[in-house]
Copies of this chain bind each other. A is one copy, B any other.
Amino acid sequence: MATLEDLGVSAFINIVGAFVFLLLFAFLRIQPINDRVYFPKLYLARKRTHDQRGVRGVINLNLCTYLRFLSWVPGALRMNQTELIHHAGLDSAVYLRIYTLGLKIFLPIMVVALLVLIPVNVAGGTLLNIRKEVVFSDIDKLSISNVSPGSNRFFIHLLMAYVFTFWTCFMLYKEYSNVAFMRLHFLASQKRCADQFTVIVRNIPRVSSHSTSETVDEFFRRNHPDHYLGQQAVYNANRYAKLVKRKERLQNWLDYYQLKFERHPEKRPTGRTGCFGFCGRKVDQIDYYRARISELDKRMASERQRVLNDPKAVMPVSFVTFDSRWGAAVCAQTQQSKNPTQWLTDWAPEPRDVYWQNLAIPFFSLSIRKFLISIAVFALVFFYMIPIAFVQSLANLEGIEKVAPFVRPVIEVKVVKSFLQGFLPGLTLKLFLYILPTVLMIMSKVEGYVSLSSLERRTASKYYYFMLVNVFLGSIIAGTAFEQLYSFFHDPPSQIPRTIGVAVPMKATFFMTYIMVDGWAGIANEILRVKPLIIYHLKNMFIVKTERDRERAMDPGSIGLGENLPSLQLYFLLGLVYAVVTPILLPFIIVFFAFAFLVYRHQIINVYNQEYESAAAFWPQVHSRIIASLLISQVTLFGLLSTMKAAYSTPLLIFLPLLTIWFHKYCKSRFEPAFRKYPLEEAMEKDRLEHASEPSLNLKTYLANAYLHPIFHMFEQEDQKEETTVEVRIDKAQQQQQHHVRSSHSQYHEEESSITETHYNHQEERTSQVQYQYHYQHHHEENMGSQQSPPHFV
């Protein structure tokens, strides 16, 4: 067990490490050459441009700025919440609130715990008086272990457990209510978006004589006659997307060789076609890549024809639009068909949030996928050591010597051998942990979620289970997860909280070190952005030719909810578990929350690019994980106290988890619907306001191509390149014919659309985006408006 001195040394090292990182960051960020690494968000938002040339464009020569090296801190704090939401979206703003929530919960708890519990524990003095033979750490003198068994002092710990739980619940309630309000306010004050009027319909049944589009049209004309506006078919263009990626890779190489040739015009670059340029025949690289690209172009053109003409390329999914938010809200929340596995409706995610590859999965397959993945996650969490041990046994020195005998002389050197033998198993494990979030993301994709936001949320929850079992329980019980599982089955249930509870105070120093390494130094590493820094400069050296290339070489990244939410939740868990047991751990957590808040605020303002906007849809998860942490802390305390012979106080703890569960249920029914459903009151209000302010709006035009599959934007680019004559026309006759099919209630749309004719044409000219209806008119007769292009992919 670590003494206070050990801990002090560890703290010193980590603080120095973090400080060095910060100094490095302060130095690097003011060099103009790194501008696009440390301020990509501002470039994307067109708030910053790189205009200085020459040396001044590479190195900062203004010495004054070196002195103000901590100037990023006030800069990060200056922006207020409204501006932040405007600048980086509600998701980011609410994400930062998790850190402030941590501060709000733990600061008062720390003050009370340090003032009340530390004196009680120290005065307990068992460790000093009785068990002199046992080796104990100084930290233990401050923890609950120092109180003598059977003491009445445990009533104070019990009282504190109640106080802390009530305080946490109170803050959680306030925060949930705040976030729910922010979400509703955000949705209400949001400007008009396509997703407000759109519903995603999955599992459209195939009717033999009809095309999917016709089936959808007919169904919604019949069942939503007053509000149905149109629909957007979804094409299965996954194969085409693959070809596009391949072409991009080839184009990169071509660019690279062309640049090389420009710099050294005396010799044309040559190389071999075989594996990694080692074998195969020798070719002129520029000619070779040109030929391959033109070949690929031909394949893409034929694939494109297939997608457009083959009815099988139309997937049984559709984005259905309505003439009002009310209509869309109604359709998204109700059951459409007698068969509840068909015509599944849900809110359409934002266009940029859609994960197109998963749209076509049928219901039955979906239910099997979910089941299999949940088994796989269970196996991954509890048995992940088995494949790793297997790989480790393969990747030993004998194995390597067999496969590659030529390295034997090197390996047999004693120093190298012992280093490798210690290093290889660790490397395998590190590699696994590094790719784990990617593996979990792939699992979530297999599960079939259709939006990026839900994919990240699902990944986060899988990762949380992994961390809970392998980091928290694994560190406390000190065994593999598999061994834990075995003991869960073979120990009596009443023994498990005891085992954990007894081990908790002993592991306090370990977790303090963990917080310093993973929390403090990790966050300082985050702000330095080593990996994007290196990759950006590499790209800059080899590929970048134009300003546009430089823009593409930027890698702003995103918050990465999938990884960050679970580790944040782990800190809440540690804080709540140790609040009563070893309160001296709390200051470490508070430093983490404060420091991480600053860093992430800075990154969100200057670096991360917002990939989508889910309007804080992840909050219910954050809330329930903190509740789960509360429950875990209560159970461990119960286990600990029951070994301390505190027979009078322990039974009083039973009400705490019951109250917590009730609180959770109440919050769930009180707030969660705000994150899952869209109230009709709200929808109607917004519709009415809009109708009053813009009575002549032509929604049909506005919504026309909002949910066009990204492939069509590529087609469009192709068309532009080939300089086809683009035809813009409004098929008025067709439109009218469609309206006649509807009931008399919706006739006013027709009038509206004829009134807003002029408006429509204006918009057309302004956006200057092309129409290309001539080609696949038969596929979607409804899409006749101006082109709304999703920001990613163009």
Check if A674 is an interface residue, CB within 8 A of chain B: yes
Check if A727 is an interface residue, CB within 8 A of chain B: no
Number of copies: 2
Q: How far is the CB of A666 from chain B (nearest CB, A)?
A: 5
Q: Which residues of B contact A558 (CB under 8 A)?
A: none
Nearest neighbor of A368 in chain B, beta-carbon distance: B662
Q: Evaluate contact between A681 and B226: CB separation under 8 angstroms.
A: no
Interface hit among A333-341, A503-511, A604-612, A759-767: A333-341
How many angstroms from the CA of A333 to the CA of B335 in the assembled complex?
Answer: 8
Specify which of B368, B672, B677 is in contact with A334 (CB 8 Å cutoff): B677
Q: Evaluate contact between B223 and A340: CB separation under 8 angstroms.
A: no
Q: Evaluate contact between B662 and A367: CB separation under 8 angstroms.
A: yes
Check if A192 is an interface residue, CB within 8 A of chain B: no
Q: Which residues of B contact A266 (CB under 8 A)?
A: none
Q: Which residues of B contact A368 (CB under 8 A)?
A: 662
Q: How far is the CB of A550 from chain B (nearest CB, A)?
A: 46
How many angstroms from the CA of A178 to the CA of B661 in the assembled complex?
Answer: 38
Q: Evaluate contact between A338 and B489: CB separation under 8 angstroms.
A: no
Nearest neighbor of A674 in chain B, beta-carbon distance: B340
Of residues 471 through 513 on chain A, the ones whose CB sits less than 8 Å from some CB of chain B are 488-494
Of residues 667 through 684 on chain A, the ones whose CB sits less than 8 Å from some CB of chain B are 669-674, 677-682, 684
Interface centre among A375, A661, A684 (most CB of B within 10 A): A684
Q: How far is the CB of A783 from chain B (nearest CB, A)?
A: 25
How many angstroms from the CA of A340 to the CA of B669 in the assembled complex?
Answer: 7
Q: Evaluate contact between A682 and B745: CB separation under 8 angstroms.
A: no
Interface SS majority for chain A:
helix
Q: Evaluate contact between A333 and B336: CB separation under 8 angstroms.
A: no
Interface string of A367-387 (1 = CB under 8 A from B): 110110001000000000000
Check if A632 is an interface residue, CB within 8 A of chain B: no
Of residues 317 through 335 on chain A, the ones whose CB sits less than 8 Å from some CB of chain B are 326, 329-330, 333-335
Check if A770 is an interface residue, CB within 8 A of chain B: no
How many angstroms from the CA of A628 to the CA of B224 in the assembled complex?
Answer: 40
Q: Evaluate contact between B338 and A334: CB separation under 8 angstroms.
A: no
Q: Evaluate contact between A330 and B334: CB separation under 8 angstroms.
A: yes
How many angstroms from the CA of A219 to the CA of B491 in the assembled complex?
Answer: 58
Q: Which residues of B contact A363 (CB under 8 A)?
A: 669
How many angstroms from the CA of A765 to the CA of B594 in the assembled complex?
Answer: 78
Check if A246 is an interface residue, CB within 8 A of chain B: no
Contact (A679, B335) CB under 8 Å given A340-B671, A491-B492: yes
Q: Evaluate contact between A680 and B223: CB separation under 8 angstroms.
A: yes
Specify which of B219, B367, B661, B677 is in contact with A669 (CB 8 Å cutoff): B367
Q: How far is the CB of A477 from chain B (nearest CB, A)?
A: 16
Q: How far is the CB of A327 from chain B (nearest CB, A)?
A: 10
Nearest neighbor of A682 in chain B, beta-carbon distance: B338
Check if A658 is an interface residue, CB within 8 A of chain B: yes
How many angstroms from the CA of A745 to the CA of B747 in the assembled complex?
Answer: 11
Check if A545 is an interface residue, CB within 8 A of chain B: no
How many angstroms from the CA of A330 to the CA of B662 in the assembled complex?
Answer: 31
Q: Evaluate contact between B491 and A335: CB separation under 8 angstroms.
A: no
Interface string of A181-223 (1 = CB under 8 A from B): 0001000000000000000000000000000000000010011
Check if A249 is an interface residue, CB within 8 A of chain B: no
How many angstroms from the CA of A491 to the CA of B491 in the assembled complex?
Answer: 7
Check if A778 is an interface residue, CB within 8 A of chain B: no
Q: Which residues of B contact A338 (CB under 8 A)?
A: 184, 674, 679, 681-682
Q: Which residues of B contact A226 (CB under 8 A)?
A: 226, 745
Q: Which residues of B contact A745 (CB under 8 A)?
A: 226, 745
Q: Which residues of B contact A430 (CB under 8 A)?
A: none
Interface centre among A337, A492, A672 (most CB of B within 10 A): A492
Nearest neighbor of A375 in chain B, beta-carbon distance: B658
Q: Evaluate contact between A341 and B679: CB separation under 8 angstroms.
A: no
Check if A665 is an interface residue, CB within 8 A of chain B: yes
Q: 29 pairs across A/B with beta carbons < 8 Å?
A: A184-B338, A223-B326, A224-B680, A226-B745, A329-B334, A330-B330, A330-B334, A333-B333, A333-B334, A334-B334, A334-B680, A335-B680, A336-B679, A337-B679, A338-B682, A340-B669, A340-B670, A340-B671, A340-B672, A340-B674, A340-B677, A341-B670, A343-B681, A363-B669, A371-B661, A371-B662, A489-B492, A491-B492, A492-B492
Chain A: residues with CB nearer than 8 A to chain B?
Answer: 184, 219, 222-224, 226, 326, 329-330, 333-338, 340-341, 343, 363-364, 367-368, 370-371, 375, 488-494, 658, 661-662, 665-666, 669-674, 677-682, 684, 745
Known pairs A335-B679, A337-B679, A340-B679 / 19 extra A-B pairs, C-beta < 8 Å: A184-B338, A223-B680, A333-B333, A333-B334, A334-B677, A335-B678, A336-B680, A338-B682, A340-B669, A340-B671, A340-B677, A343-B681, A364-B666, A367-B666, A375-B658, A489-B492, A490-B492, A490-B493, A490-B494
Ordered nearest first, which 8 A-B pairs have the shortest CB separation?
A340-B673, A335-B677, A333-B334, A371-B662, A489-B494, A490-B492, A335-B679, A223-B684
